[in-house]
Structure 1
Amino acid sequence: MTTPATERRHPQTQGLQALPGAAVLSLALDSQIAALSAVRPALPALERAALAAAQALSSGGKLAYVGAGSSGLMALADCLELSGTFGIAPDRTPMLFAGGATALLHMTGAVEDDLSLAGADFSRANLGAGDVALCISASGSTPYTLAVARLCKAAGTVVIGLAHAPGTPLLDLADIPVCLETGPEIVAGSTRLGAATAQKAALNLISVLVGLRLGHVHDGFMVNLVADNAKLVDRAARIVAALSGQPVARAHEALAATSGAVKPAVLVAAGAAPAKAQSLLTDSGGHLGPALEQLK
């Protein structure tokens, strides 16, 4: 069996334990930077992945995240942010993590091999045609992740596979394969290091483009955020003020008139009645730019 690249010894780590701390940290940082550079060649695949995910969500489908171990943690981090950043309802972005919540407090390797867990989690997520599953596995062969991916394929769910070597089972079965060739880790096999850094960056790129294509980002502002704490209420008011060109006090009034919804509040602050603001957004498919143009 060929040893996965992430399991091989890094060529610069012989005698690593004897190096001064500063030298170890410098090598570790260089490996992180090198891992990030592996994301750039994958940009076309990442764009395809993001557009497929945006299409599913805009059509009423789901974007599921699937993973185990360190890869699952990276998937979970991105999945949980979609609600707060883009206002996407959590039930539209299910997370399938090997071992569930218990494994988040005490990660065990056995759950990665448990195909019955994969089947139960897949059934619970209720995925089918019109949905997308973003399946992540550093080795591209994690049994849990592969099992979910295969069930998704059988159900007509589009599978995005993200792994770190070409020709791996996950990339072979994926509808949209994303290969991040990060190579050996400075601690062989510890994919929480370079591989995870590349995964985090790649997932960030996918979700940002998804948010943009859904109309939830305008001029760099998160215009579909759910303002459920003091910090976000203040952020929402600043966004409304910036995009409408009105004072923050007027922004707060507009947000009160729209029950805290940022997009219609921008239009209200710019001069539209609340009902008209909602009508403009309906006509534009939820995209703020065309709605603002109609007010000019």
Structure 2
Amino acid sequence: MTSTSNPRDLRAELENLTTEAFRPELAEIDRLPTLDIARLMNGEDATVPAAVASCLPQIAAAVDAIAERMAQGGRLIYAGAGTAGRLGVLDASECPPTFNTAPAQVVGLIAGGSEAMVTSVEGAEDSADLARADLDALALTPADTVVGISASGRTPYAIGAVEHARARGVLTIGLSCNPDSALTAAAHHGIEIVVGPELLTGSTRLKAGTAQKLVLNMLSTITMIRLGKTYGNLMVDVRASNDKLRARSRRIVALATGADDAAIERALTEAGGEVKTAILILLADLDGPTATGLLSRADGHLRAALRAARG
């Protein structure tokens, strides 16, 4: 898909988008006291979770499809422009420290590349060709998933990414904030979080951005739960890359096992710092190599490894 070249046509297209709608009742918001504006914004934000809730079946179906492919070695790839792209990059960047994923396992693509994270890259969002080139650089496989993110649901970069991926047999998901969007039509799974017009006309970094962040949280987090990256609500695959995370690792082992500090230190040393392995060592009274082998055969699922250890 290419962008609408005629400015008049583009204006008409934007006027038909829910996310671009003008709210005359807010036309004098700049004359209100600061606290009143804050109350208005807070009230607007409070409507977003309900909009997300209406799409939970679509979100769950997308998660199950993503997890099935990632279990086969596939990647989760986000693609978007502007705020939508930045949110995808943010979610991808948080997966390695939270779930110990490889850096290439969850990827965020933003139109215009890394420069676009901090500044506008003119014309990047209007290029479907750029999206195709960015995906080709990743050497897509049928086990991958591409999530196109666009508040309007019409951004050529996001649609181009989804169309290109789908043509190569890749699972595709479209995340937008307008009903019956072109992005949904292009994807296998459409998730349309219709949050309504923004407080500031067309500023989709507000409610639409919040809605997209909530959905991306779900897509990555629940997928990782399905892949065995958690034990209950404990992040047992957390990567202890700094003092805070090392302290959190010890606390997670303590919560999962009830062991004392000395036993936890011994288990983590035996496990090479791997939280999940340390928990298995303590709960099943195993040595490090045995626990590591059981987890490997259980595809990293701690509960399955525990069942195998206990016979």
Q: TM-score range by the shorter chain?
A: over 0.9
Contact 1:136-1:163 within 8 A present in 2 as well: yes
Does the residue aligned with 2:249 lie in a helix, a strand or coil? helix
Q: Separation in 2 of the partners of 1:12 and 1:76? A: 35
1:184-221 CA distance string (max 9 Å, x none): 00101100000000111111112111111010111211
- Correspondence list, 1:197-276, <5 A: 197-270=210-283, 271-276=285-290
- Correspondence list, 1:1-296, <5 A: 1-2=12-13, 3-10=16-23, 12-270=25-283, 271-296=285-310
Does the residue aligned with 1:134 lie in a helix, a strand or coil? strand
Does the residue aligned with 1:66 lie in a helix, a strand or coil? strand
Q: CA deviation at 1:234?
A: 1.3
Gaps of 5+ in 1: none
Tell me the TM-score normalized by structure 2: 0.91
Does the residue aligned with 1:215 lie in a helix, a strand or coil? coil
Paired residues in the alignment total 296
Tell me the TM-score normalized by structure 1: 0.95
Q: Separation in 2 of the partners of 1:139 and 1:75? A: 16
Runs of 4+ in structure 1 off by over 6 angstroms are: none
Q: Separation in 2 of the partners of 1:36 and 1:75? A: 19
Higher relative contact order (Cα pairs below 8 Å, separated by 6+ residues): 1
Contact 1:72-1:97 within 8 A present in 2 as well: yes
Q: Separation in 1 of the partners of 2:247 and 2:225? A: 22
Does the residue aligned with 2:55 lie in a helix, a strand or coil? helix
Partner amino acid, structure 2, of 1:127: L
Q: CA deviation at 1:179?
A: 0.7
Gaps of 5+ in 2: 1-11
Does the residue aligned with 2:146 lie in a helix, a strand or coil? strand
Q: CA RMSD in A?
A: 1.5
Structure 1 vs Structure 2: percent identity of aligned residues?
35
Q: Separation in 2 of the partners of 1:12 and 1:246? A: 60
